[in-house]
Every structure is written in structure tokens, then in C-alpha cells.
Copies of this chain bind each other. A is one copy, B any other.
Amino acid sequence: MIIVLRPEATEEQINHIVEKTAKLGLKANISRGTERTVIGVIGPEDVLRVTPLEVFPGVEQVIPVLAPYRLVSREFKKEDSIVKINPKILIGGKRIHVMAGPCSIESEESMMRLAGIVKKAGATILRGGAFKPRTSPYDFQGLGEEGLKFLAVAGKEHDMATVTEVMDSRDLDLICRYTDILQIGARNMQNFTLLKEVGKLKKPVLLKRGISATIKEWLMSAEYILSQGNYDVIFCERGIRTFETATRNTLDINAIAVVKQKSHLPILVDPSHGTGRWGLVASAAKAAVAAGCDALMIEVHDNPEEALSDGPQSLLPRNFEALMKDLKKVAAAVDRQI
């Protein structure tokens, strides 16, 4: 941690800071420049983060040097982590897995039909929402447990793993009974009580990036889960909020390489939310694979005119099939496979 002092900082103020850091068991290293004195504090920054050094007299700014996350960092673990969903599905290896299905689970028949469609095209994991976070209280809120059953049955029938969103700690037991992967939605990325709860489980977690979360905050949210003992976390980049309104979100393609540099955990990309319009999904999905993502999640619906949510960003089966063929080629070009 670097403490930059004001030009007018006194010796007394400098000593006050040095004493404080000494009390915390840290060593302070003073550099006196012509314009500023700077104090470098050596040792574990965690101890210091709790101490608001910015308010100490004479201090102009405090600059942290170490990343605030530990367990999720590349320094903690050099090799790529592989999250095992089941013996056949490993996320983070050479194979790029595709999760696909409707935004909301709507009925048993549609779930079963869509599972067949996406499985045939090459998806290995079935998605579908039973508890839906909706901006409006008057919109469809999901089928709840009934929906979970439809998802589980369709997944079993087509030999696919399943993923669904969990919105409330109280639903965790229920959801764990039916699905293989727990999705934490963008709006809950900093629902810290929920993060702690899924951290205590033995289920893989798909952690969506908050709509305006920095990569650092996202890694910190994963740290919440790992710090409770659950290391099976997959990041999900799904677009961030910017000033641009031509798309629903701005897919942060840079985030893939940044996360890969900073963390050992795998990263998935959701081009459906990342663009918000089906006509842009193929371009974004191919870009994500070329950029180095480990998995994809794509919304597919065979009758978007009747979809209960996210119709505008869902691919028709025929478009999904065509995309999967293209993705196989792009994956091969970057030495991966789908």
C-alpha cells in the first residue's frame, strides 16, 4: 500500500502514520521527494484495508498495490481450474461447452422439445429460468418448482446437465434437488448473503457479472464463494451497461482475456444478454470463442412470438443450428473444440 502525503504534511503526521502501521505489525518505508513524501507500507494489505488511512491527517491519497482477492487469483493457483459438472462435462478444458435453452421455462412440452433441438445441435447443458427477476412486478415471474421439474425431466431425457438461476437463499434446497449448476444473476452479483450460502454448497456456480460491476468487484464476489469452501465457480460475462443504446448491453469482450490473466477460473460468455438482439448474437458468439472463452450460454426459442420473456434475443432453432456449425470452425481455428 502506498500512502501519498500532502505537500504540507508535517513530521508529526508522518510519525503518526508510521506508528499506526507499526501497531498493525507492518513496516513503513518513507521516500521523501521534492514535491511529495510517499510512504510504502510492506506486508499484508488486508490488515490495512480495514484502516481508513485516507482520513489520517496529512494524507492525500492511498493507493493499494495488491489485488484484494486471493483464492480466485492466478497467484494463488497458476494452472487453469477445471470445473467438473459431471464426468462428461468439464468446463475450462479444451472443449467449449454450450448451454442453451429458453429464457423462461414455460411448459413441460416446450422444455422437452427445446431440449431435443439444442442437444441435437451440440449443446450439452440445458438452461431455463424457473424464478425470474423481472423489472416489472406485473411481468411473468416464473413457474417456480413446477418449472424446475420440467427442466430436470427434459435434461434427464436428453442426457444434458442443467442450469437455472437462484434468486433467494430460501430456494437453494429446492433448486439443488433439481439442477446441476446454480446461476447467480447479474442483479445478485453483490447479494453477499446469497454468495455466502452457495459458497457452503458442493454445486458448481455460474457467477454472472453485475451490469455495472468492474472486473475487480466481480472477482471479489467470486472470492466470497471460494472463501466459504466452494471452488467450482465459472464466471459469466453478459454485457455491461454503457451509454450505447443501440444494443441492450455492451458485451465486454476484453473481459475474457483480463479474467484469464487475473484468475485461474473458467469464463463463459452469454451473447444473448450481451447484445439483447437475436440478429447480433452470432457475431458476438463467434467473437467470444475467438477471444478465448471456455463456454457459451445462448437463449433459443422455437416460437419467440409467444415467449414469456426475452423473445427478442432468442435464436430460432434453425439459426442456432447454423451458429453451432460456424462456432465449431472458429473453435478449431483457436485450437479448441465444441
Q: Which of B136, B212, B253 contacts A68 (CB 8 A)?
A: B136
* CB within 8 Å of B: which A160-178 residues: 167-170
* Residue A252 is within 8 A (CB to CB) of chain B in the complex: yes
* Interface core residue of A40, A217, A332 (most chain B CB under 10 Å): A40
Q: Which residues of B contact A334 (CB under 8 A)?
A: 286, 326, 329-330
If A65-B4, A220-B135, A279-B261 touch, does A242 touch B245 (CB 8 Å cutoff)?
A: no
- Tell yes or no: A12 within 8 A of B by CB: no
A117 and B268 CA atoms in complex are apart in Å by 36
Chain B residues, Cβ within 8 Å of A245:
214, 245
Query: Which residue of the partner chain B has the closest CB to A281?
Result: B257
Q: Could you say how many copies of this chain the assembly holds?
A: 4
Whether B250 lies near A242 (C-beta < 8 A) is: yes
Say whether A320 faces chain B, with CB atoms less than 8 Å apart. no
A205-224, CB under 8 A of B: which get 1 and which 0?
00000011011110010011
Tell me, in angstroms, the Cα distance from A332 to B290 when the chains sit together.
Answer: 12
Contact A170 B167 (CB under 8 A): no
A139 to B187, CA, bound (A): 22
- Encoded as 1 (CB less than 8 Å from any B CB) or 0, chain A from 105 to 141 comes to 0000000000000000000000000000111111110
Q: How far is the CB of A136 from chain B (nearest CB, A)?
A: 5
Q: Decide: B283 and A257 in contact? CB cutoff 8 A.
A: yes
Q: Which of A29-60 contact B (CB under 8 A)?
A: 29, 31-36, 38, 40, 42-44, 46, 49-52, 54-56
Tell me, yes or no, whether A80 is within 8 Å of chain B by CB.
Answer: no
**Closest-CB distance, A167 to chain B (whole angstroms):** 6
* Smallest Cβ-Cβ distance to A40: which chain B residue: B31
Per the bound structure, the CA–CA distance linking A313 and B214 in Å amounts to: 21
Taking a contact as CB atoms closer than 8 A, the residue among B51, B168, B275 that contacts A169 in the complex is B168
Which residues in window 302-338 of A have CB below 8 A to B?
304-305, 307-308, 310-312, 314, 326, 329-330, 332-334
Contacts of A257 in B (CB 8 A): 275, 279-280, 283-284
Taking the closest CB of chain B, its distance from the CB of A322, in whole angstroms, is 13
Q: Which residues of A contact B (CB under 8 A)?
A: 2, 4, 7, 20, 29, 31-36, 38, 40, 42-44, 46, 49-52, 54-56, 63, 65-66, 68-69, 75, 133-140, 167-170, 187-188, 190-193, 195-196, 211-212, 214-217, 220, 223-224, 227-228, 240-247, 250-258, 261, 274-275, 278-280, 283-284, 286-292, 304-305, 307-308, 310-312, 314, 326, 329-330, 332-334
Interface contacts beyond A29-B40, A69-B136: sample of 19 additional A-B pairs, CB < 8 Å, sorted by A: A2-B2, A2-B38, A40-B40, A49-B139, A52-B310, A55-B304, A137-B228, A168-B169, A188-B191, A216-B246, A244-B252, A246-B258, A250-B250, A250-B254, A254-B280, A257-B279, A261-B280, A286-B292, A290-B291
13 inter-chain pairs at a CB distance below 8 angstroms, sorted by A residue, are A31-B42, A49-B139, A52-B312, A68-B138, A69-B136, A136-B220, A138-B227, A167-B191, A170-B170, A254-B275, A283-B291, A283-B292, A290-B291
